[in-house]
Amino acid sequence: MTLPSRVKLVDVGPRDGLQNEKQALSAELKIGLVHRLQDAGLKHIEVTSFVSPKWVPQMGDNAEVMAGLQRRDDVRYAVLTPNLKGYEAAVLSRPDEVVVFGAASEAFSQKNINCSITESIERFAPVVSAALAAGIAVRGAISCTVGCPYEGEIAPERVTMVARLMKDIGVQHIGVADTIGVGTPRKVQRAMEAALQVYALDDVSGHFHDTYGQALANTLATLEMGVWQYDTSVAGLGGCPYAKGATGNVATEDVVYLLHGMGIETGIDLDRLIDAGVYISQALGRQPNSRAATAVLNKRLGG
């Protein structure tokens, strides 16, 4: 077992975390969150999504948010682009990376993006070609790699199949997502092994939701495989509109606390990260959904 000495975290809070919030949030607030995340040391941030505002109203200010960023050369700004129309709008905002997302479950694919897995790949192919031709990095996400709210348990072979389809159209990096948070360490390791049949270790990442409180355990289980890249969400923001009961991604603060406690570098300042989580949580009228943040905030109060 060789643990990585350094881990890269992609904070997906501004996009994956905020997209399901019912209350309208200003572009200024979202820009403020991205700035606080980069001030805390995040080098890779999923900022927004170029989808139809009819489906995801919260992301309707995507161009405004991208235009308002004070960009840093050492930070990668990613956007979600589900189809060519989305990509054509996104490219005007000069993203460093575009993200396409498929599923290892046919039923989830139909519910989430209204098409089959094969059709979703056909939609992504021109997006990937255009992005690569423009020198923009392309990341792919595979949702429901462990379980699906409609199909139940997902066989690892399906993860391999979707990873291969994505590799064939040129997707450079793949995220293995436990979208509804039902995974436990061995199951998540099997899903990751399935992706690693197609992608190199340096080109995979974990994306774990904490519905059953397993996200940190699943992070540790994949760290032990050598995986060194993860999607996390500040203050544990997020959920999934098509996965009833799914809580947010694992909180960035909790993963940073885990990693630092294991002597693994992240380049992230935990205190500043917690402040970023407080900033967005206060705007949403709630406490950060992070155990580490809660403990540190209580300590600051002398509690």
Nearest Cα residue to 273 out of 8, 75, 41: 41
* Strand segments (E) across the chain: 8-11, 44-49, 76-80, 97-103, 137-143, 147-148, 152-153, 173-178, 204-208, 229-232
Q: Is 240 a residue of the active site?
A: yes
Phi-psi map region of 242: left, alpha, beta (phi>0 left; psi -120 to 50 alpha): alpha
The values of phi and psi at residue 238, to 5°, are 115, -175
Q: Which of 115, 144, 148, 240 is catalytic?
A: 240
Q: In sequence order, what are the beta bridge partners of 174?
A: 140, 204
Cβ–Cβ under 8 Å, residues 267 and 41 = yes
What 3-state DSSP class applies to 12?
A: coil
SS3 of residue 65 by DSSP = helix
Structure tokens of 246? 């799914």
Contact 47, 98 (CB under 8 A): no
Among all residues, which ones are annotated catalytic? 240
